[in-house]
A and B are shown apart, each in its own frame.
Chain A
Amino acid sequence: DQQVKQNSPSLRVQEGRISILNCDYTNSMFDYFLWYKKYPAEGPTFLISISSIKDKNEDGRFTVFLNKSAKHLSLHIVPSQPGDSAVYFCAASAGANSKLTFGKGITLSVRP
Protein backbone atom coordinates (compact mmCIF):
# COMPACT_ATOMS: atom_id res chain seq x y z
CA ASP A 1 0.00 0.00 0.00
CA GLN A 2 1.64 3.20 -1.18
CA GLN A 3 1.65 5.86 1.50
CA VAL A 4 3.21 8.50 -0.76
CA LYS A 5 1.69 8.81 -4.21
CA GLN A 6 2.86 10.71 -7.24
CA ASN A 7 0.07 9.90 -9.62
CA SER A 8 1.33 11.66 -12.72
CA PRO A 9 4.33 9.83 -14.16
CA SER A 10 5.48 12.73 -16.32
CA LEU A 11 5.11 16.46 -16.94
CA ARG A 12 6.22 18.55 -19.92
CA VAL A 13 6.62 22.31 -19.53
CA GLN A 14 7.89 25.13 -21.71
CA GLU A 15 11.04 26.91 -20.55
CA GLY A 16 10.19 29.99 -18.50
CA ARG A 17 6.80 28.67 -17.42
CA ILE A 18 5.82 27.28 -14.05
CA SER A 19 6.22 23.57 -13.28
CA ILE A 20 3.84 22.17 -10.65
CA LEU A 21 4.61 18.70 -9.33
CA ASN A 22 2.03 17.09 -7.08
CA CYS A 23 2.25 14.55 -4.28
CA ASP A 24 -0.43 12.97 -2.09
CA TYR A 25 0.00 10.99 1.10
CA THR A 26 -2.24 8.77 3.18
CA ASN A 27 -0.45 8.54 6.53
CA SER A 28 -1.73 11.29 8.83
CA MET A 29 1.32 10.77 11.07
CA PHE A 30 3.67 12.20 8.43
CA ASP A 31 5.05 15.50 9.68
CA TYR A 32 8.04 16.20 7.47
CA PHE A 33 8.10 16.26 3.69
CA LEU A 34 10.94 16.50 1.21
CA TRP A 35 11.54 16.78 -2.51
CA TYR A 36 14.50 15.19 -4.25
CA LYS A 37 15.70 15.60 -7.82
CA LYS A 38 17.40 12.77 -9.68
CA TYR A 39 19.29 12.80 -12.95
CA PRO A 40 19.81 9.49 -14.78
CA ALA A 41 22.72 7.44 -13.44
CA GLU A 42 23.10 9.73 -10.42
CA GLY A 43 21.84 9.63 -6.86
CA PRO A 44 18.92 11.80 -5.71
CA THR A 45 19.77 15.35 -4.64
CA PHE A 46 17.90 17.00 -1.79
CA LEU A 47 15.95 20.05 -3.03
CA ILE A 48 13.64 21.43 -0.40
CA SER A 49 11.66 20.33 2.64
CA ILE A 50 8.73 21.43 4.73
CA SER A 51 7.59 20.69 8.24
CA SER A 52 3.91 20.12 8.98
CA ILE A 53 3.83 23.25 11.12
CA LYS A 54 4.21 25.30 7.94
CA ASP A 55 2.18 25.50 4.76
CA LYS A 56 4.84 27.01 2.52
CA ASN A 57 8.60 26.98 2.17
CA GLU A 58 10.54 28.82 -0.50
CA ASP A 59 14.11 28.50 -1.73
CA GLY A 60 14.97 30.45 -4.85
CA ARG A 61 12.97 29.15 -7.79
CA PHE A 62 11.55 26.29 -5.71
CA THR A 63 8.51 26.57 -3.46
CA VAL A 64 6.79 23.72 -1.66
CA PHE A 65 3.18 24.04 -0.51
CA LEU A 66 1.59 21.76 2.06
CA ASN A 67 -2.15 21.25 2.49
CA LYS A 68 -2.50 19.04 5.55
CA SER A 69 -6.27 18.74 5.42
CA ALA A 70 -6.06 17.41 1.87
CA LYS A 71 -2.88 15.42 2.59
CA HIS A 72 -1.37 17.03 -0.46
CA LEU A 73 1.85 18.83 -1.25
CA SER A 74 3.19 20.39 -4.38
CA LEU A 75 6.50 21.65 -5.69
CA HIS A 76 6.47 24.78 -7.83
CA ILE A 77 9.43 25.65 -10.02
CA VAL A 78 9.39 29.18 -11.42
CA PRO A 79 10.73 29.84 -13.97
CA SER A 80 11.40 26.38 -15.30
CA GLN A 81 14.74 25.79 -17.02
CA PRO A 82 15.91 22.96 -19.29
CA GLY A 83 18.37 21.92 -16.57
CA ASP A 84 15.40 21.17 -14.33
CA SER A 85 14.57 18.18 -16.53
CA ALA A 86 14.91 15.20 -14.17
CA VAL A 87 12.91 12.81 -12.03
CA TYR A 88 11.46 14.40 -8.89
CA PHE A 89 10.71 12.28 -5.83
CA CYS A 90 8.42 13.26 -3.00
CA ALA A 91 9.24 11.77 0.41
CA ALA A 92 7.72 11.89 3.88
CA SER A 93 8.50 10.84 7.42
CA ALA A 94 6.62 10.53 10.71
CA GLY A 95 8.64 11.70 13.65
CA ALA A 96 12.19 12.96 14.10
CA ASN A 97 13.78 9.54 14.06
CA SER A 98 11.70 7.75 11.45
CA LYS A 99 12.68 6.58 7.99
CA LEU A 100 11.62 8.27 4.77
CA THR A 101 8.90 6.88 2.54
CA PHE A 102 9.31 7.77 -1.13
CA GLY A 103 6.88 8.13 -4.01
CA LYS A 104 7.53 6.64 -7.45
CA GLY A 105 8.73 9.93 -8.88
CA ILE A 106 7.62 12.16 -11.71
CA THR A 107 9.68 12.87 -14.82
CA LEU A 108 9.80 16.57 -15.63
CA SER A 109 10.81 17.64 -19.13
CA VAL A 110 11.40 21.33 -19.74
CA ARG A 111 11.41 22.26 -23.43
CA PRO A 112 13.68 25.09 -24.59
Chain B
Amino acid sequence: EADIYQTPRYLVIGTGKKITLECSQTMGHDKMYWYQQDPGMELHLIHYSYGVNSTEKGDLSSESTVSRIRTEHFPLTLESARPSHTSQYLCASSESPGQGKTSGNTIYFGEGSWLTVV
Protein backbone atom coordinates (compact mmCIF):
# COMPACT_ATOMS: atom_id res chain seq x y z
CA GLU B 1 0.00 0.00 0.00
CA ALA B 2 1.34 3.42 -0.97
CA ASP B 3 1.46 6.39 1.35
CA ILE B 4 0.10 9.20 -0.72
CA TYR B 5 -1.06 12.52 0.63
CA GLN B 6 -3.25 15.21 -0.83
CA THR B 7 -3.87 18.76 0.38
CA PRO B 8 -6.18 20.49 0.76
CA ARG B 9 -8.88 17.88 1.35
CA TYR B 10 -11.65 20.41 0.87
CA LEU B 11 -11.49 23.79 -0.84
CA VAL B 12 -14.16 26.35 -1.66
CA ILE B 13 -12.85 29.09 -3.89
CA GLY B 14 -14.18 31.97 -5.96
CA THR B 15 -14.28 32.05 -9.74
CA GLY B 16 -11.09 33.29 -11.34
CA LYS B 17 -8.79 32.32 -8.49
CA LYS B 18 -5.64 30.31 -9.02
CA ILE B 19 -5.38 27.07 -7.06
CA THR B 20 -2.82 24.35 -6.61
CA LEU B 21 -3.71 20.89 -5.34
CA GLU B 22 -0.73 19.23 -3.71
CA CYS B 23 0.11 15.53 -3.94
CA SER B 24 3.06 13.72 -2.41
CA GLN B 25 3.96 10.05 -2.12
CA THR B 26 6.63 8.49 0.04
CA MET B 27 7.04 5.14 -1.71
CA GLY B 28 9.40 6.24 -4.45
CA HIS B 29 6.91 5.27 -7.17
CA ASP B 30 7.92 6.33 -10.66
CA LYS B 31 4.39 6.81 -11.95
CA MET B 32 1.88 9.35 -10.70
CA TYR B 33 -1.61 10.25 -11.87
CA TRP B 34 -4.42 12.73 -11.44
CA TYR B 35 -7.99 11.53 -11.83
CA GLN B 36 -11.18 13.55 -11.76
CA GLN B 37 -14.44 12.07 -10.54
CA ASP B 38 -17.95 13.45 -10.34
CA PRO B 39 -20.51 11.62 -8.15
CA GLY B 40 -21.91 8.51 -9.83
CA MET B 41 -19.44 8.69 -12.66
CA GLU B 42 -16.29 6.82 -13.57
CA LEU B 43 -12.83 8.06 -12.73
CA HIS B 44 -11.32 10.01 -15.60
CA LEU B 45 -7.56 10.29 -16.04
CA ILE B 46 -6.59 13.93 -16.63
CA HIS B 47 -2.78 13.84 -16.19
CA TYR B 48 -0.04 11.32 -15.64
CA SER B 49 3.70 11.18 -15.24
CA TYR B 50 6.12 8.31 -15.67
CA GLY B 51 8.98 10.07 -13.95
CA VAL B 52 10.70 13.35 -13.21
CA ASN B 53 10.20 15.97 -15.93
CA SER B 54 7.67 13.70 -17.66
CA THR B 55 4.02 14.79 -17.85
CA GLU B 56 1.26 13.77 -20.25
CA LYS B 57 -2.38 14.65 -20.79
CA GLY B 58 -4.86 11.97 -19.85
CA ASP B 59 -7.99 10.73 -21.55
CA LEU B 60 -10.20 13.58 -20.34
CA SER B 61 -9.32 17.06 -21.47
CA SER B 62 -8.58 19.36 -18.55
CA GLU B 63 -7.63 23.02 -18.24
CA SER B 64 -5.37 22.15 -15.33
CA THR B 65 -1.60 21.74 -15.58
CA VAL B 66 0.85 19.57 -13.66
CA SER B 67 4.55 19.43 -12.98
CA ARG B 68 6.93 16.70 -11.84
CA ILE B 69 10.16 18.24 -10.60
CA ARG B 70 10.67 15.67 -7.86
CA THR B 71 9.77 11.98 -7.84
CA GLU B 72 7.59 12.32 -4.76
CA HIS B 73 5.66 15.46 -5.71
CA PHE B 74 3.01 15.95 -8.42
CA PRO B 75 1.03 19.17 -7.95
CA LEU B 76 -1.96 20.16 -10.09
CA THR B 77 -2.69 23.82 -10.86
CA LEU B 78 -5.74 25.63 -12.16
CA GLU B 79 -4.79 29.16 -13.27
CA SER B 80 -8.36 30.49 -13.23
CA ALA B 81 -10.96 28.36 -11.49
CA ARG B 82 -14.51 28.13 -12.85
CA PRO B 83 -17.67 26.49 -11.47
CA SER B 84 -17.28 23.75 -14.11
CA HIS B 85 -14.06 22.72 -12.31
CA THR B 86 -16.07 21.71 -9.25
CA SER B 87 -15.24 18.03 -8.73
CA GLN B 88 -13.23 15.53 -6.72
CA TYR B 89 -9.57 15.31 -7.76
CA LEU B 90 -7.74 12.10 -6.92
CA CYS B 91 -3.99 11.69 -7.00
CA ALA B 92 -2.49 8.23 -7.38
CA SER B 93 0.85 6.50 -7.84
CA SER B 94 2.23 3.15 -8.93
CA GLU B 95 5.49 1.35 -9.43
CA SER B 96 6.97 0.82 -12.86
CA PRO B 97 7.14 -2.81 -14.02
CA GLY B 98 10.09 -4.39 -12.30
CA GLN B 99 10.41 -1.60 -9.76
CA GLY B 100 8.90 -3.65 -6.96
CA LYS B 101 6.90 -6.68 -6.01
CA THR B 102 3.44 -5.46 -6.96
CA SER B 103 2.07 -5.26 -10.45
CA GLY B 104 2.94 -2.02 -12.14
CA ASN B 105 -0.70 -1.63 -13.05
CA THR B 106 -1.92 -1.49 -9.45
CA ILE B 107 -2.32 2.16 -8.57
CA TYR B 108 -2.80 3.54 -5.07
CA PHE B 109 -4.88 6.61 -4.40
CA GLY B 110 -4.70 9.47 -1.99
CA GLU B 111 -7.78 10.55 -0.06
CA GLY B 112 -8.79 13.09 -2.68
CA SER B 113 -9.31 16.83 -2.85
CA TRP B 114 -12.86 18.14 -3.08
CA LEU B 115 -12.90 21.40 -5.02
CA THR B 116 -15.92 23.68 -5.12
CA VAL B 117 -15.76 26.81 -7.26
CA VAL B 118 -18.44 29.40 -6.53
Give the interface of A toward B (CB within 8 A): 2, 4, 9, 32, 34, 36, 41-46, 49, 51, 89, 93, 96-100, 102-105
Contacts and interface: CB of A to CB of B under 8 A. Distances in A.
Interface string B21-52: 00000000000010000001111010010000
A43 B111 contact: yes
Most B CB atoms within 10 A — which of A41, A42, A43, A96?
A43
Nearest to A95: B105
Interface of B: 1, 6, 33, 40-43, 45, 48, 58-59, 90, 92, 96-97, 103-112, 114
Contacts of B42: 2, 4, 89, 102-105
A96 B111 contact: no
Contact of B48 (A32, A36, A93, A99): A99
A97 B48 CA distance: 12
A42 B88 CA distance: 10
Contacts, number: 59
Nearest to B107: A100
B1 A97 contact: no
Given A32-B105, A34-B106, 8 more contacts: A46-B1, A89-B43, A93-B105, A96-B105, A97-B97, A98-B105, A99-B58, A104-B41
B105 A45 contact: no
Nearest to A32: B105
B105 A44 contact: no
A41 B112 contact: yes
B43 A46 contact: no
Nearest to B108: A46
B3 to A, nearest CB: 12
A83 B67 CA distance: 37
Contacts of B97: 96-97
